[in-house]
A and B are shown apart, each in its own frame.
Chain A
Amino acid sequence: MPAPIRLRELIRTIRTARTQAEEREMIQKECAAIRSSFREEDNTYRCRNVAKLLYMHMLGYPAHFGQLECLKLIASQKFTDKRIGYLGAMLLLDERQDLVPQLVRILKNLIMSGYSPEHDVSGISDPFLQVRILRLLRILGKGDDDSSEAMNDILAQVATNTETSKNVGNAILYETVLTIMDIKSESGLRVLAINILGRFLLNNDKNIRYVALTSLLKTVQTDHNAVQRHRSTIVDCLKDLDVSIKRRAMELSFALVNGNNIRGMMKELLYFLDSCDPDFKADCASGIFLAAEKYAPSKRWHIDTIMRVLTTAGSYVRDDSVPNLIQLITNSVEMHAYTVQRLYKALLDDISQQPLVQVASWCIGEYGDLLVSGQCEEEEPIQVSEDEVLDVLEGLLVSNLSAPVTRGYSLTAIMKLSTRFSSVNRIKKVVSIYGSSIDVELQQRAVEYNALFKKYDHMRPALLERMPIMEKTATNGPAEIVQTNGETDSTILDTKHLPSIIQPASQVGLSIQSSAHFRHLNNLTMYSASKCIPPMTAYNKNGIKIEFTFERANPNPNIAVITIHATNSTEADMTEFVFQAAVPKTFQLQLLSPSSNVVPALNQGSVTQVIRVLNPQKQQLRMRVKLTYTHKGSPVQDLAEVNNFPPQSWQ
Chain B
Amino acid sequence: MYGVNASDRHSCSWLVSQMQFMLLFSRQGKLRLQKWYVPLSDKEKKKITRELVQTVLARKPKMCSFLEWRDLKIVYKRYASLYFCCAIEDQDNELITLEIIHRYVELLDKYFGSVCELDIIFNFEKAYFILDEFLLGGEAQETSKKNVLKAIEQADLLQEVRRLCFLKAFRGQKHFAEQYS
Q: Tell me the A residues contacting B by CB distance below 8 Å.
A: 7-8, 11-12, 15, 51, 54-55, 58-60, 78-80, 83-84, 87, 90-91, 94-95, 117, 119-122, 126-129, 131, 135, 139, 167-168, 170-172, 174-175, 178, 206-208, 210-211, 241-245, 593-598
Contact B143 A598 (CB under 8 A): no
Contact A59 B99 (CB under 8 A): no
Contact A83 B31 (CB under 8 A): no
How far, in whole Å, are A234 and B99 apart by their CA atoms in the complex?
A: 26
Report chain B residues within 8 Å CB of A80: 159, 162-163
The residue in A8, A51, A167 that gathers the most chain B C-beta atoms within 10 A of its C-beta is A167
CB distance from B169 to the nearest CB of A (A): 12
Contact A129 B93 (CB under 8 A): no
Contact A131 B96 (CB under 8 A): yes
CB distance from B180 to the nearest CB of A (A): 14
Among A79, A128, A175, point to the contact of B158 (Cβ < 8 A): A79
Report chain B residues within 8 Å CB of A168: 99
Among A15, A55, A120, A206, point to the contact of B124 (Cβ < 8 A): A55
CB distance from A208 to the nearest CB of B (A): 7
Report chain A residues within 8 Å CB of B178: none
Among A55, A79, A208, A243, point to the contact of B95 (Cβ < 8 A): A208
Residues from 76 to 128 in B contacting A, C-beta threshold 8 Å? 91, 93-96, 98-100, 102-103, 121-122, 124-125, 128
Known: A119-B142, A168-B99, A242-B64. A59 touches B17 (CB 8 A): no
How far, in whole Å, are A98 and B142 apart by their CA atoms in the complex?
A: 32
Contact B129 A58 (CB under 8 A): no
CB distance from B81 to the nearest CB of A (A): 14
Contact B11 A127 (CB under 8 A): no
Say yes or no for B175: interface residue by CB 8 A criterion.
no
Size bracket, chain B contacts: 35 or more
Across the interface, name the chain A residue whose C-beta is closest to B45: A94
Report chain B residues within 8 Å CB of A596: 6-7, 10-11
Report chain B residues within 8 Å CB of A131: 93, 96
Contact B34 A593 (CB under 8 A): no
Report chain A residues within 8 Å CB of B151: 117
Contact B64 A597 (CB under 8 A): no
Across the interface, name the chain A residue whose C-beta is closest to B49: A60
Across the interface, name the chain B residue whose C-beta is closest to A127: B99
21 contacts between A and B (CB under 8 A): A8-B122, A15-B121, A54-B125, A58-B124, A60-B31, A87-B125, A87-B128, A120-B147, A121-B143, A122-B146, A126-B143, A127-B99, A131-B96, A135-B17, A135-B93, A168-B99, A171-B95, A243-B63, A244-B66, A244-B67, A598-B10
State the majority secondary structure of interface residues on A. Answer: helix
Contact B158 A207 (CB under 8 A): no
How far, in whole Å, are A621 and B155 apart by their CA atoms in the complex?
A: 66
Across the interface, name the chain B residue whose C-beta is closest to A129: B143
Known: A170-B95, A596-B6, A596-B7. A210 touches B66 (CB 8 A): yes
Contact A593 B7 (CB under 8 A): yes
How far, in whole Å, are A91 and B35 apart by their CA atoms in the complex?
A: 8
Among A84, A207, A598, point to the contact of B66 (Cβ < 8 A): A207
CB distance from A254 to the nearest CB of B (A): 19
How far, in whole Å, are A174 and B146 apart by their CA atoms in the complex?
A: 27
Q: Tell me the B residues contacting A by CB distance below 8 Å.
A: 1, 5-7, 10-11, 14-15, 17, 30-34, 41-42, 46, 62-68, 91, 93-96, 98-100, 102-103, 121-122, 124-125, 128-129, 132, 140, 142-144, 146-147, 151, 155, 158-159, 162-163, 166
Contact A87 B129 (CB under 8 A): yes
CB distance from A196 to the nearest CB of B (A): 12
Known: A122-B144, A129-B143, A210-B64. A174 touches B95 (CB 8 A): yes
CB distance from B40 to the nearest CB of A (A): 9
Across the interface, name the chain A residue whose C-beta is closest to B143: A128
Contact B99 A167 (CB under 8 A): yes
CB distance from B59 to the nearest CB of A (A): 10
Report chain A residues within 8 Å CB of B162: 78-80
Report chain B residues within 8 Å CB of A207: 64-66, 94-95, 98
How far, in whole Å, are A593 and B15 apart by their CA atoms in the complex?
A: 22
Across the interface, name the chain B residue whose C-beta is closest to A596: B10
Across the interface, name the chain A residue whose C-beta is closest to B34: A58
Among A58, A122, A242, A597, point to the contact of B32 (Cβ < 8 A): A58
How far, in whole Å, are A78 and B159 apart by their CA atoms in the complex?
A: 8
How far, in whole Å, are A242 and B10 apart by their CA atoms in the complex?
A: 33
CB distance from B24 to the nearest CB of A (A): 10
CB distance from B161 to the nearest CB of A (A): 9
Across the interface, name the chain B residue whose C-beta is closest to A8: B122
Across the interface, name the chain B residue whose C-beta is closest to A207: B65
The residue in B64, B143, B158 that gathers the most chain A C-beta atoms within 10 A of its C-beta is B64
Contact A598 B11 (CB under 8 A): yes
A-B pairs with the 5 shortest C-beta distances?
A171-B95, A596-B10, A171-B96, A128-B143, A128-B140
